[in-house]
Amino acid sequence: MRYASFRSGERRQEREWDGGFGEAARTRDRALIVAARASGRRSRLLWLLAGPGILAMLGENDGPSMLSYAASGAGYGMGFFLPFTVLLFLMAYLCQEMSMRVGAVTGRGFGELVFGRYGRGWGAFGAVDLALTNLVTLVAEFVAIRIGLSYFGYGAPVAAFLGLSLVVLTAVLGRYRRWERTVLGLAAFNALFLLTAVLVRPDPAAVGRALLSWAPLPAGDPVTVLLLLTSTIGATVTPWMVFFQQSASADKGLTRADVGYGRAETALGAALAALFGAGALITGAVLAGPGAAFESAGMPWALDHAAGPPVGALFSLGLIDAGAVALLTISASTSYAAAECLGLPHSFNAAPRRAVAFHAVNIASAAAAASVILIPGVPLLAIALNANVLATVLLPVTLVFLLMLANDRELMGSSANKPSTNVLTGAVIVFITVCAGAYAVTAFLQATHLIAAP
């Protein structure tokens, strides 16, 4: 009893010293990392440091992304989009490695640094831009959960309740580490898409040819093809990932000494996400005929018809899980950005009563998105695909700021970008800008009848 009373008093003193920013809990987590490093147990150290990179990558393997991959496979097969997906995750690693490195070296989140280095105007622009993009994406996550649950006979109210309950319950865990491990456990079920790919029994030789030969971009209506191209980019690299991984790396307490392990963890996340994303694409490729996946949100039932009920059921469960993991990580990125820009406590280590804005934004953003799917007649698949397109259109601005931060030697010192990293990142920014611009221009020309619609 005396020991319990002492520990209670100690925790109370920690909270008073902490000021609501979560430093006391972060210090305890750092002590575990220091002990693991001193003991030379590298596997233990990697386990303690794992989290932000894997969650950013698997969180981006969200419901809309997996539907986009499956739709690409259903409409055009594996030839172009399978190697393209692998390339995109290499691009994602390049961007997220910078995000992790900046967060570990500076100990500050992306929104906080943009606000501090480039002024209130750009900081506010970035936060509002992210919040609006994330709101659309969160709606798409609830749509994915709804599609998955509808396969089992449940409607929109259950999807809204389930998703919002997960956000609320994980928000009150009281520690970043508990939140992180809970979401990592859920993210492991992203592997269901790999299982569905195995169950549809693809021809291994065809998969190998698709990866190695890289077929040309499919022919067809330019708006539809560019929509899929842009949506696939947005399924892999998005603004929220940059905000989330940098802020989560700081919240976790990574330092300059942890950058090597952070790179390994981010690479592992990219490899897993590419594997599971390819699984969704290969699964969708079992559906013959262009346009098969765009007429409705009936992907699970189409898979049932083509490959048997187990595939449809597992794909539906995968959609529910992918949507749930993305809900948790994307709403967290919104709350990080909002609280950082306002200079308020921004940590899952901070109790809700000491970080009111951080936790309120986290829950409110999810609640707002949940309410949208309760509106009758919501165009499910259109929202899911166009959420990724919107993320692609707004991504270059975020990447330019990230590139500038990673090159800021006053902040980064010897950990600043190498010239090769700058060249590669510049090429990525140009490529994404060109793809997004081409889609926007082509869609505008078709909408104004300056070019013929199919």
Residue 228 is predicted with a pLDDT of 75
Residues 9-29, mean pLDDT to the nearest whole number: 51
Banded model confidence at residue 450, pLDDT cuts 50, 70, 90: low
**CATH 1.20.1740.10 matches 42-447:** yes
pLDDT at 44 over 70: yes
Residue 449 is predicted with a pLDDT of 55
Encode the chain in three state secondary structure: CHHHHHHHHHHHHHHHHHCCCCHHHHHHHHHHHHHHHHHCCHHHHHHHHCCHHHHHHHHHCCHHHHHHHHHHHHHHCCCCHHHHHHHHHHHHHHHHHHHHHHHHHHCCCHHHHHHHHHCHHHHHHHHHHHHHHHHHHHHHHHHHHHHHHHHCCCCHHHHHHHHHHHHHHHHCCCCHHHHHHHHHHHHHHHHHHHHHHHHCCCCHHHHHHHHHHCCCCCCCCHHHHHHHHHHHHHCCCCHHHHHHHHHHHHHHCCCHHHHHHHHHHHHHHHHHHHHHHHHHHHHHCCCCCCCCCCCCCCHHHHHHHHHCHHHHHHHHHHHHHHHHHHHHHHHHHHHHHHHHHHCCCCCCCCCCCCCHHHHHHHHHHHHHHHHHCCCCCCCHHHHHHHHHHHHHHHHHHHHHHHHHHHCCHHHHHHHCCCHHHHHHHHHHHHHHHHHHHHHHHHHHHHHCCCCCCC
Residues 358-386, mean pLDDT to the nearest whole number: 82
**Where do we find the tokens 């709350």?**
335
Summary mean pLDDT of the chain:
82
Residues 147-160, mean pLDDT to the nearest whole number: 92
pLDDT at 442 over 90: no
Interatomic CA distance for residues 162 and 82, integer angstroms: 32
Residue 99 is predicted with a pLDDT of 94
Residue 136 is predicted with a pLDDT of 85
Residue 444 is predicted with a pLDDT of 59
pLDDT in tens, 89-108: 999 999 999 999 999 999 88
Residues 273-283, mean pLDDT to the nearest whole number: 94
Residue 393 is predicted with a pLDDT of 80
Range with the poorest average pLDDT among 66-80, 135-149, 419-433: 66-80
Residue 299 is predicted with a pLDDT of 85
Banded model confidence at residue 9, pLDDT cuts 50, 70, 90: very low
pTM: 0.85
Residues 339-348, mean pLDDT to the nearest whole number: 78
pLDDT at 453 over 60: no
pLDDT at 400 over 70: yes
Residue 13 is predicted with a pLDDT of 37
pLDDT at 270 over 80: yes
pLDDT at 157 over 50: yes
Question: What percent of the chain has a predicted confidence (pLDDT) above 90?
Answer: 34
Residue 12 is predicted with a pLDDT of 40
Residue 327 is predicted with a pLDDT of 93
Per-domain residue ranges for the chain? 42-447
Those residues whose C-beta lies under 8 Å from the C-beta of residue 8, and which sit 6 or more positions away, are none
pLDDT in tens, 165-200: 999 988 877 678 888 889 999 999 999 999 999 999
Residue 162 is predicted with a pLDDT of 93
Banded model confidence at residue 47, pLDDT cuts 50, 70, 90: confident
Residue 145 is predicted with a pLDDT of 93
pLDDT at 8 over 80: no
pLDDT in tens, 228-269: 778 788 778 888 899 889 988 888 878 888 898 899 999 999
Contacts 24+ apart (CB under 8 A), 184-187: 184/50, 184/51, 184/54, 184/55, 186/321, 186/324, 186/325, 186/328, 187/54, 187/55, 187/58, 187/59, 187/321, 187/325
Residue 151 is predicted with a pLDDT of 92
More confident residue, 72 or 331: 331
Count CA atoms within 13 Å of residue 396 on its CB side. Answer: 15
Residue 149 is predicted with a pLDDT of 94
Question: What percent of the chain has a predicted confidence (pLDDT) above 70?
Answer: 87
pLDDT in tens, 196-215: 999 999 989 889 888 888 88
